[in-house]
Amino acid sequence: MLLTSAMQLMQAGTVPSVSDVAEAAGVSRATAYRYFPAQASMIQAAVDEALGPILAWKSDTVSAEERAGELMAFAFPRIEAYEATHRAAVLLSLDQWTRSRAGTLGDEVPIVRGHRKKLLTDAVTPLKGHLSRAGFDRLVQALSLVFGTEAFIVLKDIWGLDGEGARRVAVWAANALVRAASAEVATNQRIDTVKGGVRKSSANAPKKTR
């Protein structure tokens, strides 16, 4: 009931306090604080609930490009369905950052936002081992720029796209990034093949006699 009330308030465009949720749910603040000792933990739970099936996303596809596109296509409609909840979490995150810089955050628990790391890593797992560690991390980091609430906000608020338009752009961008990484793998493999051939030729070359 508390979580439902929290999500309803967030979907209405507010970033509720635990007291706000207690009032909306018709329970005492003491009861609400037993479940959610801090606003951040309550918002975190609401976001996890809003993400729902996205957190359990898996793919058996062997192509990293197709997997990345599948994740984008699967996740964006759910993000749009709970857009206000996700925007509220971003708003709280920015507010906490501002208060942290000002030294007024105190011992407030920070909201943690990092689900996309695991999801995107899983999406491009087929390229793991073919890219360097730095190259693989760079790919996941680049994909994080086109996945999630922030990407949704940019595409909708700045470019005026609807949810489907935002999804198409995100899928295109993800595919382009993975193709670039795959091309890097192919180039490295060709270089290794050439180097291997040169080493083999050198080893088999007849030795010069004096």
152: nearest Cα among 42, 78, 63, 210: 78
Count up the domains in the chain and report the number.
Answer: 1
- Asked if residue 138 lies in contact with residue 184, where contact means CB atoms within 8 angstroms, the answer is no
Residues spanned by the domain of 120:
40-192
64: nearest Cα among 158, 150, 127, 141: 127
pLDDT tens-digit map of 164-189: 999 999 999 999 999 999 998 877 66
Asked, for residue 24, whether it belongs to a domain, the answer is no
pLDDT tens-digit map of 122-152: 999 999 999 999 999 999 999 999 999 999 9
Q: 3-state DSSP call for residue 111?
A: coil
Asked, for residue 208, whether it belongs to a domain, the answer is no
Asked, for residue 199, whether it belongs to a domain, the answer is no
Percent with pLDDT over 70 in the chain: 89
Q: Report pLDDT for 84.
A: 93
Asked, for residue 141, whether it belongs to a domain, the answer is yes
Q: Residues with Cβ < 8 Å from 53, sequence gap 6 or more?
A: 78
- Reported as half-sphere exposure (CB side, CA atoms, 13 A), residue 152 has a value of 22
Asked, for residue 203, whether it belongs to a domain, the answer is no
Asked, for residue 174, whether it belongs to a domain, the answer is yes
Q: Give the Cα separation of 207 and 51 in Å (integer).
A: 67
Asked, for residue 34, whether it belongs to a domain, the answer is no
Asked if the model's pLDDT at residue 196 lies above 80, the reply is no
Asked, for residue 148, whether it belongs to a domain, the answer is yes
pLDDT tens-digit map of 54-111: 999 999 999 999 999 999 999 999 999 999 999 999 999 999 999 999 999 998 888 8
Q: Report pLDDT for 186.
A: 77
